[in-house]
């Protein structure tokens, strides 16, 4: 009996030690049927389109390039707390030619400290060589500043490298020390739509200047449901406007009957969304 139990347990151990089954990240039952380069517009599905399709929503880059035709640029800057310091992340379409750096200090006009980090790159479709320089990122840079004092304002700047423009001098405040029972202010917000993100950012900055410690965001950063209703009217000169006529959907037919025949929801405007208008 003992030898039988031992054999069963041993067999179970062998099964448990087997490598996990290969799992795919993409559901291949529904193959992609759109354009080879999934950007542009529906009238001309190339990288830049021809300007007659949907207008592209773009946010201004984190750093405004100093020239009208930049070869590289810092397009995104984000920060995250780390124990005793700050993690600074920024993105560029092309490499920096050297390790990423951040200049920092406790005085706005004296950034004598330099922190150095590392970079990673990830390919994208279309590559940044085919996309606008200020709207594309393939290189991601991580720099950590450590040994900082709690609840203290610091200034920092990202220097120019390989065609990028030096950032303006920015600032952050470190968090309170663990166990600090002094008061602080928290902002709770939702519905920061992509089309009004600039205003949200402006008023958050104002709140920070008034002493806001941090903001908790509950979701809905961007929208896909009639967000443009009333901004772009349906006109004959703009044939992709979804008013039920002259409409062509991506991927080609056959189209689901419920998508074509469903009536417009009450209160919706026959503008953009499905062929019947609305969402």
pLDDT at 156: 98
pLDDT band, very low/low/confident/very high, at 141 (cuts 50, 70, 90): very high
Q: Quote the CA–CA distance of 200 and 209 in Å, as a whole number.
A: 14
Report the pLDDT value the prediction gives residue 126, as an integer from 0 to 100. 83
Q: What is the mean pLDDT of residues 238-263?
A: 56
Q: What is the pLDDT of residue 236?
A: 55
What pLDDT does residue 213 have?
A: 86
What pLDDT shows up at residue 255?
Answer: 67
> Cα–Cα distance between 94 and 111 in angstroms, integer?
26
Specify the range with the lowest mean pLDDT, choosing from 5-9, 20-24, 74-78, 227-231. Answer: 5-9
pLDDT for residue 169:
98
CB 82 within 8 A of CB 74: no
Q: Per residue in 158-206, pLDDT tens?
A: 999 999 999 999 999 998 898 999 998 998 887 665 555 667 778 888 8
Domain segments of the chain as ranges: 58-177, 183-223
pTM equals 0.67
Least confident of 13-22, 93-102, 107-116, 183-192: 13-22
Vertex 273, ends 268 and 277: CA angle to 5°? 45
Fold of 58-177: Immunoglobulin-like (2.60.40)
Q: Is there a contact between 72 and 55 (Cβ–Cβ < 8 Å)? A: no
């Amino acid at each position: 009996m003992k030898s039988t139990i031992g054999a069963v347990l041993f067999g179970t151990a062998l099964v448990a030690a087997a490598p996990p089954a290969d799992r795919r990240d993409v559901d291949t039952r529904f193959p992609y049927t759109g354009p080879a380069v999934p950007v542009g517009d529906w009238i001309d599905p190339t990288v830049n389109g021809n300007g007659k399709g949907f207008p592209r929503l773009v946010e201004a880059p984190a750093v405004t390039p100093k020239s009208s035709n930049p070869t590289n640029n810092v397009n995104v800057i984000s920060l995250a707390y780390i124990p005793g310091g700050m993690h600074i992340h920024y993105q560029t379409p092309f490499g920096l030619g050297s390790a990423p750096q951040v200049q920092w200090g406790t005085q706005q006009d004296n950034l004598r400290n330099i922190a150095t980090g590392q970079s990673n790159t990830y390919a994208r479709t279309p590559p940044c060589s085919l996309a606008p320089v200020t709207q594309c990122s393939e290189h991601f840079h991580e720099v950590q500043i450590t040994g900082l004092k709690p609840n203290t304002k610091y200034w920092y700047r990202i220097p120019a490298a390989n065609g990028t423009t030096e950032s303006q001098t920015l600032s952050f405040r470190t968090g309170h020390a663990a166990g600090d029972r002094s008061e602080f202010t928290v902002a709770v917000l939702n519905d920061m739509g992509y089309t009004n993100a600039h205003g949200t950012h402006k008023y958050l900055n104002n709140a920070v200047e008034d002493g806001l410690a941090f903001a908790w965001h509950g979701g809905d950063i961007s929208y896909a449901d009639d967000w443009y209703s009333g901004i772009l009217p349906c006109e004959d000169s703009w044939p992709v406007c979804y008013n039920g006529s002259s409409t062509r959907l991506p991927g080609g037919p056959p189209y689901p009957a419920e998508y074509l025949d469903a009536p417009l929801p009450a209160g919706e405007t026959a503008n953009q969304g499905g062929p019947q208008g609305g969402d």
